[in-house]
């Protein structure tokens, strides 16, 4: 017994020591505030630029490297370090990034979706506002006005958008449409007619993959835009439109009906596995962002056409990747040079044709881009721009996550009333609705 | 007279580092997670103001999302099915191998090999095998096999099937439950999602060999005299198993339940690589939800609450077993 007692005492002591250690642990000290590596900004920039980007493969990595090349030509003595963690659409990297930011050891710049996703990085604590840079580089004139509104959070700009993707695109297999004498549907009513014809011929009318959980929310936001229009849809995220609106009910009903036309194995597929149906000529349509264009190209598939998703002609459902500047960045001058490049015409023209997206600026040379992207550029400068929720632009991350969960449930259960009640509740939880 | 021998001191010195390390990295962090689950730390910036049980309340409410309630249903369904499948299959395999078959070593290895593979690999392979294909474009994987050998009626949606088996409120039993005020039980929250069977199949494929090894060791430990004695008493083979062997294997069965049970409560990698959350979260599990909400949604306190619930559920399973084992050892 005495032996056990002694061990118990040892254990207790260890625990006491531990609790003292925890109690006395120093609070994470902020990094020494911007001690510039060189005393004064000399003409020759030196040192490092620490980047944090999960574009490590494919066209996006090529695009990023093209921008790095320009940077290295201008500042040959600066060493660009990419400190990322590869894989998983940035989920792994984000976890590491969160630790580094809160631990006071931030990389100089990292990648995030433009728009309200920035809220989850606590910008007033961890990021530098870029308003001065926007003015000095004339960006408030180079970007469309709708984009500028979308970029502002708490009245400041927090990121430098490098590209624009469009979410509301209907991709279709041209051969199937000409063989069956069909036109891509402009409204959801037209869609049902087209889909019924295709269904009778044993072709999957609309393909979708919902394995990763965001795809259902992505498709539904295009239905919301069709039902509410650009202004009504924007209002959903600012509290001007209530989620109890009958038009939201209508959107849910439409979506429910649309889901009866999709491939039955959608929960087993990712979006690209679903797009394979189009390549194989087994599926007719796919509503997905315009990264699909690059994916088709990589598959050497050319028989595809595109149109705005049904009911969304004249609306550009946008998402954008941007680079942020962290507070306490160790290489401030190099960082600012990088952001200037990322926002510049030269930088965006180098990056976007490779990434398969269009410039956030409206003055890029269309000749550098392929046919689809040229049409997107035209729409970008003329359409009403609305933010995508499935990709971080429209709502804070917490809201977007629950939105996706609700839609993932709804895609199978189809309980309209419950889904609408939940959507309203999450709006209330985020203090936008009453 | 107290005398501390040098042996004692050395032993103590050897043990102290690991005791301290475990105290900090296991118990310290458990404590920190538990503490976090009561805070408002639901963004990137740590916010340690306490909010009581709010994180837990949110998990157990159905609006805006009932994901956690569905996760609990899935975990319970998965655990029960997985335990039954593994133990029955493992026991049968062990009994068959115990018949002193030729090439026993080869069979033993074959049944044990799946254990050497990680759940990630198992998940990917079974996802390919069980991917159902579509009505319009034809079957794939196992469904295609069924079709080719004329068993087309066996095709089904596997892990893409959103059906939930539960007591319907309009059946006799359902009406009885509603009558006594237990209408909650006659809802999909107390059902079995059929998509979970696919996960059970994959997990059983991996773990039944291990269960077999445990049972085989147990069977070999039962002295032949006991069987002889039973035979002399006129018992047939089935009676021998029923009244002699199975009761003697009870400690093995308990160990198997504990080992498999805690694996199934914590299961994560298999779900990630095989099914994801599934249709309407039919194959979602708490560990997956915890990862999602913590690292995608930055809801650290919410994630900590899920982690705490997971820990408690595993502890409920394991602690009584540990106490029991220690008591038995002390008696020896």
Spatial CB neighbours of B160, under 8 Å, sequence gap ≥ 6: A264, A265, A266, A267, A268, B132, B195, B278, B279
CA distance A88 to A266: 20
Give the model's pLDDT for residue B88: 96
Chain B, window 138-177: residues with a beta carbon less than 8 angstroms from a chain A beta carbon: 157, 159-160, 162
Q: A179 and A277 in one domain?
A: yes
Q: What is the CATH number of the domain that holds A238?
A: 3.40.190.10
Q: A272 and A212 in one domain?
A: yes
Least confident of A255-259, B127-131, B185-189: B185-189
Number of folded domains that form chain A: 2
Q: A328 and A234 in one domain?
A: no
Over 90: is that where the pLDDT of A27 sits? no
In terms of Cα–Cα distance, which of A264, A287, A296 is closest to A215? A287
Q: A305 and A187 in one domain?
A: yes
Give the model's pLDDT for residue A1: 44
In a domain, B37, yes or no: no
At A35, the pLDDT band (50, 70, 90 cuts) reads very low
Number of A–B residue contacts, CB under 8 Å: 136
Collapsed DSSP state (helix, strand, coil) of residue A396: coil
Q: 């900090």: which residue's tokens?
A: B24
CA distance A29 to A313: 52
Query: Are A268 and B23 in contact (CB < 8 Å)?
Result: no
In a domain, B235, yes or no: yes
Give the model's pLDDT for residue A72: 93
CA distance A309 to A330: 45
DSSP for B61-121?
Answer: --SS--HHHHHHHHHHHHHHHHHHHHHHHHHHHHHHHTTT-TTHHHHHHHHHGGGGS-HHH
Q: Which residues of B touch A397 (CB under 8 A)?
A: 296-298
In terms of Cα–Cα distance, which of A357, A393, A349 is closest to A149? A393
B8 and chain A in contact, CB less than 8 A: no
Stronger pLDDT, A267 or A184, i.e. the higher one: A184
Stronger pLDDT, B275 or A94, i.e. the higher one: B275
In a domain, B213, yes or no: yes
Give the model's pLDDT for residue A44: 65
Over 50: is that where the pLDDT of A41 sits? no
Over 90: is that where the pLDDT of B76 sits? yes
Best mutation target among B16, B166, B279, B290 (most A Cβ atoms within 10 Å) is: B279
At B75, the pLDDT band (50, 70, 90 cuts) reads very high
A132 and chain B in contact, CB less than 8 A: no
Is residue A359 within 8 A of residue A165, CB to CB? The reply is no
Give the model's pLDDT for residue A267: 80
Over 80: is that where the pLDDT of A209 sits? yes
ipTM: 0.74
Q: Which domain holds residue B288?
A: 73-295
In a domain, A140, yes or no: yes
Q: Which domain holds residue A261?
A: 166-318+390-429
For residue A323, what are the β-bridge partners?
A111, A160
Give the model's pLDDT for residue A2: 53
Q: 């795809």: which residue's tokens?
A: A215
Q: 């308003």: which residue's tokens?
A: A131
Q: A351 and A311 in one domain?
A: no
B34 and chain A in contact, CB less than 8 A: no
Q: What is the CATH number of the domain that holds B139?
A: 1.10.3720.10
Q: A118 and A105 in one domain?
A: yes
Query: Are A94 and B19 in contact (CB < 8 Å)?
Result: no
Mean pLDDT of chain A: 86
Over 50: is that where the pLDDT of A40 sits? no
In a domain, A22, yes or no: no
Over 50: is that where the pLDDT of B110 sits? yes
CA distance B218 to B213: 9
Spatial CB neighbours of A252, under 8 Å, sequence gap ≥ 6: A410, A416, A419, A420
Is residue A390 within 8 A of residue A167, CB to CB? The reply is yes
Summarize pLDDT for A289-341 with one digit per residue, the tens.
999 998 898 889 999 999 999 999 999 999 999 999 999 899 999 999 999 99
B74 and chain A in contact, CB less than 8 A: no
Is residue B281 within 8 A of residue A408, CB to CB? The reply is yes
Give the model's pLDDT for residue A29: 43
Asked if the bond preceding B9 is cis, omega within 30° of 0, the reply is no
Q: What share of chain B is helix, strand, coil (3-state, %, to 5)?
A: 70, 5, 25
Over 70: is that where the pLDDT of A25 sits? no
* CA A425 to chain centroid: 24
Collapsed DSSP state (helix, strand, coil) of residue A110: strand
Collapsed DSSP state (helix, strand, coil) of residue B11: helix
Give the model's pLDDT for residue A19: 55
Q: A250 and A204 in one domain?
A: yes
Query: Are A405 and B65 in contact (CB < 8 Å)?
Result: yes
Mean pLDDT of chain B: 89
In a domain, B332, yes or no: no
Q: Which residues of B touch A262 (CB under 8 A)?
A: none
Number of folded domains that form chain B: 1
Query: Are B292 and A268 in contact (CB < 8 Å)?
Result: no
Give the residue-averaged pLDDT of B283-296. 90
Stronger pLDDT, A9 or A377, i.e. the higher one: A377
For residue A315, what are the β-bridge partners?
A384
Least confident of A104-113, A133-142, B129-138, B220-229: B129-138
A282 and chain B in contact, CB less than 8 A: yes
Collapsed DSSP state (helix, strand, coil) of residue B323: helix
Residue count (chain B): 332
Over 90: is that where the pLDDT of A364 sits? yes
Give the model's pLDDT for residue A87: 53
Q: How far is B331 from chain A (nearest CA, A)?
A: 13
Distance (Å) of CA A111 to CA A75, A216, A325, B140 = 21, 24, 9, 39
Give the residue-averaged pLDDT of A282-286. 94
Report CA torsion sign: A380, A383, A388, A394. Answer: positive
- Residue A64, sorted as left (phi over 0), alpha (psi -120 to 50) or beta, turns out to be alpha
| Closest B-chain CA to A408 | B280
Is residue B64 within 8 A of residue A402, CB to CB? The reply is yes
Give the model's pLDDT for residue A30: 43
Q: Which residues of A touch B27 (CB under 8 A)?
A: 15, 18
A268 and chain B in contact, CB less than 8 A: yes
A327 and chain B in contact, CB less than 8 A: no
Q: A347 and A249 in one domain?
A: no
A57 and chain B in contact, CB less than 8 A: no
Q: A401 and A285 in one domain?
A: yes
Least confident of A85-99, A250-264, B52-66, B73-87: A85-99
Over 80: is that where the pLDDT of A13 sits? no
Over 80: is that where the pLDDT of B52 sits? yes
CA distance B119 to B288: 14
In a domain, B312, yes or no: no
């Amino acid at each position: 017994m005495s032996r056990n007692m002694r061990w118990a005492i040892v254990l207790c002591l260890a625990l006491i020591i531990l609790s003292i250690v925890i109690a006395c642990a120093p609070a994470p000290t902020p990094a020494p505030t911007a001690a510039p590596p060189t005393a004064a900004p000399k003409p020759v920039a030196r040192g490092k630029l620490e980047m944090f980007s999960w574009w490590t493969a494919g066209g996006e990595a090529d695009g990023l490297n093209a921008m790095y090349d320009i940077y290295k030509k201008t500042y040959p003595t600066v060493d660009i370090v990419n400190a990322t963690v590869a894989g998983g659409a940035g989920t792994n990297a984000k976890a590491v990034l969160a630790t580094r930011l809160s631990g006071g050891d931030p990389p100089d710049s990292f990648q995030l979706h433009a728009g309200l996703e920035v809220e989850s990085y606590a910008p007033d604590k961890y990021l530098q506002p870029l308003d001065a840079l926007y003015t000095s580089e004339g960006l408030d004139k180079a970007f469309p006005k709708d984009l500028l509104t979308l970029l502002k959070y708490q009245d400041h700009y927090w990121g430098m958008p490098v590209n624009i993707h469009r979410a509301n695109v209907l991709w279709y297999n041209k051969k199937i449409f000409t063989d069956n004498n069909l036109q891509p549907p402009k409204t959801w009513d037209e869609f049902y007619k087209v889909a019924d014809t295709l269904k009778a011929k044993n072709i999957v009318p609309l393909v979708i993959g919902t394995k990763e959980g965001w795809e259902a929310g992505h498709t539904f936001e295009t239905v919301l835009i069709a039902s509410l229009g650009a202004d009504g849809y924007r209002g959903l995220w600012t509290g001007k439109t209530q989620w109890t609106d009958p038009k939201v009910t209508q959107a849910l009903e439409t979506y429910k009906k649309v889901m009866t036309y999709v491939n039955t194995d959608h929960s087993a597929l990712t979006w690209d596995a679903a797009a394979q149906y189009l390549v194989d000529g087994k599926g007719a349509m796919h509503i997905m962002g315009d990264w699909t264009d690059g994916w088709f190209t990589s598959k050497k598939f050319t028989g595809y056409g595109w149109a705005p998703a049904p009911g969304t002609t004249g609306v550009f459902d946008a998402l954008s990747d941007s680079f942020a500047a962290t507070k306490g960045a160790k290489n401030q001058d190099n960082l600012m040079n990088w952001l200037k490049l990322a926002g510049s015409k030269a930088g965006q023209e180098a990056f976007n044709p490779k990434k398969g997206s269009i410039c956030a600026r409206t003055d890029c040379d269309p000749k550098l881009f392929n046919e689809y992207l040229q049409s997107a550029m035209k729409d970008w400068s003329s359409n009403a721009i609305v933010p995508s929720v499935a990709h971080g632009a429209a709502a804070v991350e917490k809201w977007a996550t629950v939105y996706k969960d609700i839609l993932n449930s709804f895609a199978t259960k189809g309980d309209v009333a419950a889904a609408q009640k939940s959507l309203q509740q999450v709006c209330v939880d985020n203090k936008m609705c009453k | 007279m107290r005398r501390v021998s040098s042996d004692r001191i050395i032993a103590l010195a050897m043990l102290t580092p690991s005791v301290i390390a475990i105290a900090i990295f296991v118990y310290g962090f458990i404590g920190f997670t538990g503490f976090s689950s009561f805070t408002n730390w639901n963004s990137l910036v740590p916010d340690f103001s306490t909010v009581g049980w709010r994180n837990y309340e949110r998990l157990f409410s159905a609006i805006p999302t009932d994901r956690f309630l569905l996760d609990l249903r899935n975990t319970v369904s998965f655990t029960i099915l997985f335990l039954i499948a593994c133990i029955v299959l493992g026991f049968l395999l062990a009994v068959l191998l115990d018949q002193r078959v030729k090439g026993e070593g080869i069979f033993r290895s074959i049944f044990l090999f799946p254990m050497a593979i990680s759940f990630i690999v198992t998940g990917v392979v079974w996802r390919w095998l069980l991917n159902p294909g579509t009505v319009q474009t034809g079957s794939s994987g196992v469904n295609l096999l069924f079709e080719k050998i004329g068993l087309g009626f066996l095709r089904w949606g596997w892990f893409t099937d959103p059906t939930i088996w539960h007591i319907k409120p309009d059946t006799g039993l359902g009406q009885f439950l509603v009558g006594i005020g237990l209408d909650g039980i006659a809802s999909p929250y107390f059902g079995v999602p059929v998509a979970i069977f696919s996960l059970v199949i994959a997990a059983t494929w991996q773990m039944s060999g291990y269960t077999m090894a445990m049972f085989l060791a147990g069977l070999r430990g039962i002295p032949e005299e006991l069987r002889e004695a039973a035979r002399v008493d006129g018992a047939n083979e089935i009676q021998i198993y029923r009244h002699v062997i199975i009761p003697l294997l009870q400690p093995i069965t308990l160990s198997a339940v504990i080992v498999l049970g805690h694996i199934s409560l914590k299961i994560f990698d298999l779900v990630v690589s095989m099914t994801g959350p599934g249709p309407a979260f039919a194959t979602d599990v708490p560990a997956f939800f915890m990862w999602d909400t913590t690292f995608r949604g930055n809801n650290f306190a919410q994630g900590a609450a899920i982690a705490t619930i997971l820990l408690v559920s595993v502890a409920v399973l394991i602690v009584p077993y540990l106490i029991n084992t220690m008591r038995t050892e002390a008696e020896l």
